[in-house]
Amino acid sequence: MTNYHGQIHLSLAGFYDVLTDDGLMYRTRARGNFRKKGQTPLVGDFVTFTADNQIEGYILEIDSRRNSLVRPPVANIDQAVLVTAVRLPDFSTNLLDRQLVTLESDDIEPIIYFTKTDLLTEAELHQFEKLSDGYRRAGYQVILPQTAFDQASLTEIRNELDHGLNVVMGQTGAGKSTLLNHLDPELQLKTGEVSQALSRGKHTTRQVGLVSLGQGWVADTPGFSTFDVFKMPSRELTLYFREINQISKGCRFRGCQHLNEPGCAVKAAVADGEIMESRYDNYKLFYDLIEGRRPVYNKHDKKH
């Protein structure tokens, strides 16, 4: 057998399609020793594999990962588009900030893309414009289409996805597949209707795979409802709120946690409107979650 090197582009029912450096696709399986080591190959992994033909290969080794996510299960990610519905399912600053913290901790650049803006009243749209400005001040790229999937927003997101490995992630029913179908109608990804009763979507994506978009690759992945845990210790949480981390340089005490300490520049910035109150509230809530003082969070928080 001949050894090859490439990147996993599709994971489905124990099979892994690997695109080699010279542009050929091989279908492979993982050797049993990966299970013994507790390793699972992920889409995006660079691997060494052996094969006699393009339909019967075996993965021998997984290169070290730059980063990886559990939901969606993808490795070596450059950017993540957070597809965030303003309605159906209900918008939550809590969930959005959880996603941002997780991406920051994995050194993945987030892009926030709001969907279903056509369901908003003029007054509600104005509130989301203020919210978007707040996240932009925090250092994030935010795309708020004036009408759903308008050309200006699609052009902006196409330009961002034109390099590297990108994930499109968000709650089920938020419009991930619909967004990808607008970006490339040939994809014709299956879209699902949101369950009105539960305000949660039905899972319609059964596999994880990469699709070509311009010069980049995009993963269309299953949705999720929440993140359950944070990996970092509480004292490091401040590093993953961009604006809090930046403004904390002005705190009186080094290592300030921005809770009850005097001379806290972050609390002053919240009072002055420089930091959104919802961001600071979520920071405190996440801090307490990590500390174990509040094991349950209010996932229906809609403060913005």
- Binding site feature residues: 115-118, 170-178, 251, 256, 258, 264
Indicate the annotated binding residues for Zn(2+).
251, 256, 258, 264
Residue with tokens 């979520």: 282
Q: How far apart are CA 284 and CA 236, in angstroms?
A: 13
Query: Reduced to 3 states, what is the DSSP secondary structure of residue 262?
Result: coil
Q: How far apart are CA 223 and CA 73, in angstroms?
A: 11
End-to-end CA distance of the chain: 58
The helix or strand, by DSSP H or E, that contains position 293, with its residue range, turns out to be: none
Closest Cα to residue 88, out of 244, 233, 200?
200
Q: Supply 44's token pair.
A: 């995006």
Indicate the annotated binding residues for GTP.
115-118, 170-178
Under a CB-based contact definition with an 8 Å cutoff, are residues 7 and 19 in contact?
A: yes
Q: How far apart are CA 165 and CA 180, in angstroms?
A: 14
Q: Supply 74's token pair.
A: 């993808």
Closest Cα to residue 102, out of 227, 253, 250?
227
